[in-house]
Amino acid sequence: MGNRKDDMKKIKRALISVYDKKDLRNLLKTLKKYNVEILSSGGTHKEIQKLGYKSIEVSNYTKYPEILDGRVKTLNPKIHAGILMKRMKRSHKKESLKHDFKEIDLVVVNFYPFEKTLEKSTNHEKIIENIDIGGPAMVRAAAKNYKDVTIVTNISQYDNLIDHLNKFSCSTTLSLREKLSSEAFATTGSYDATISNYFNTILKNNFPKKKLFTFNLLENLRYGENPHQESSIYINKNLKLKQLNGKKLSYNNYNDIFAALNISKSLPKNQGTVIIKHANPCGVAVNSNKIESFKLALKSDPISAYGGIVSCNFKINKKLANELDKIFFEVIIADAFDKDSLKILKKKKNLRIIDSSELKNKEILSYNSNFNTLLLQTADNLKFSSKNFKVVSKLKPNSKLLKNLIFAFNICRFVKSNAIVLTKDKSTVGIGSGQPSRLDSCKIAISKLKKFNSKIEGDILAASDAFFPFVDGIETLVQSGVTAVIQPSGSIRDKEIIKYANDAGIVLVFSKTRHFRH
């Protein structure tokens, strides 16, 4: 289908006011080719002259100087009337002629770098000065009047606009203007959201009356959890994960990757291995010997590990790569890979290899969305220490045993509720997850223990993500060989649980916090 003649709008006058002045040359060349008059604000005007092109400085055009240290440049009726006037409305034309308001057909604007300023500075005054006022005002005006005006808000749009102008003799189509208008409102909305969130951060207001979010499209995914579902991934800031090999990541890959990284980044640096299947850990271990760390994690449940994701919070070397190569994994994540390890792992063309060395686990809020609602909460990222726990049994743990219990409890909070985690020397040996009954989770964890780790000798520790509502759960664990249990307090039967632990001669530790993960 062609473009209707009355949908086409000729560009005779353009206003360019940009903070980021890169890549202007080709645009200016095209506008000069079609004799487009250019208006520009101070810094942009100087850049245009430097590039060898002509423009009229806004202050000369409006007959008002830039004032208040540049805070007021383009906030002028001559500018905004030129953008907002309806070309086909007689009263608008009459007023414009009376006041000598000339039509502005193209607006090219990008904003002060507020987000980049936040990354580089904590100086509040400097941050405030990088809130753009005139730019967003012009963008919103042009976007509102898209039937007559073309609005460009990003350098990445220049080439498409140039192609369009050359194709249609310096005119734009309604479809292009609508598309650019939509993108412009997204730009101003995102900009305002970033500013709003900055103020909420300094005010420590996680839950304001209106919560704004801004995310940028990272990529469209093949599909969602299932092939009939559409899916994309958006990022709030730069996602510092580097894919070094393999197929494009899927929705489920990302879901598992994030689950793996949440755990591995919580473990002692350069020692932790996590194996994930369907967003649940099936094996976790901490060991200074990196190959042993992986082998212990794998031993926890080698069947579930097949086709899963492994994440190491250390650099992978050749020896470990050879071990990883023996198992079918969808994704391998590590804090860097040496050259020899990459040679080995890249032989599997489809294997996704992810470098997470630059990723920091600084999640502040977590989200869940359904039925046009948003459940929002602060992240469960407490750093555990002995102060978070209370020994309630007569039998007291030594320092090593308590640290091992805390390890088990840390892993437990990353397992889908109801969750039971069995461990031995900082490695999981049985995990029961996602059951409506806590007793069933106990039985699943025990069955994993018996199936894969039945020959383990010594103390088996158990962690529960919430309190045992009845004695039957802890009793089942003790009968399977568990000698120490860590769990949140808060049940009306806590005293019964303590009595059972004392009668059974086991260590019982209560946490001051509960850690459901639904």
Task: Determine which of 32-46, 111-125, 466-480 has the lowest per-residue pLDDT on average.
Answer: 111-125
Q: Taking 80 as the threshold, does the pLDDT of residue 82 lie above it?
A: yes
DSSP 407-428: HHHHHHTTSPSS-EEEESSSBE
Of the candidates 278, 315, 346, 348, the residue annotated as catalytic is 278
Nearest Cα to Cα of residue 474 among 518, 452, 504? 504
For residue 123, pLDDT over 70 is answered with yes
Q: What is the pLDDT of residues 405-414, one digit of tens each?
A: 999 999 999 9
Phi, psi of 334 (to 5 degrees): -155, 160
Identify whether the C-beta of residue 308 lies closer than 8 Å to the C-beta of residue 328: no
- β-pairing, 216-220 vs 150-152, is unpaired
Note if 455 is an active site residue. Answer: no
Q: Binning pLDDT at 50, 70 and 90, where does residue 363 land?
A: low
225 backbone dihedrals φ, ψ, rounded to 5°:
-60, -30
Does 278 participate in catalysis according to the annotation?
yes
Q: Read off the pTM.
A: 0.86
Q: Between 5 and 113, whose confidence is greater?
A: 113
DSSP H or E run through 10: strand 9-10
Task: Dump strand ranges (E) for 361-419.
Answer: 365-370, 373-378, 389-391
The single residue of 144, 211, 299, 346 carrying the catalytic annotation is: 144
The enclosing H or E element of 183 equals helix 174-202
Contacts of 136 (CB under 8 A, 6+ apart): 111, 188, 191, 192
Look at residue 362 and tell me whether its pLDDT is greater than 80: no
Domains recognised in the chain with CATH numbers: 11-202 (3.40.50.1380), 227-234+243-355 (3.40.140.20), 386-511 (3.40.140.20)
Q: Where are the alpha helices (DSSP H) in 301-398?
A: 302-305, 318-324, 339-345
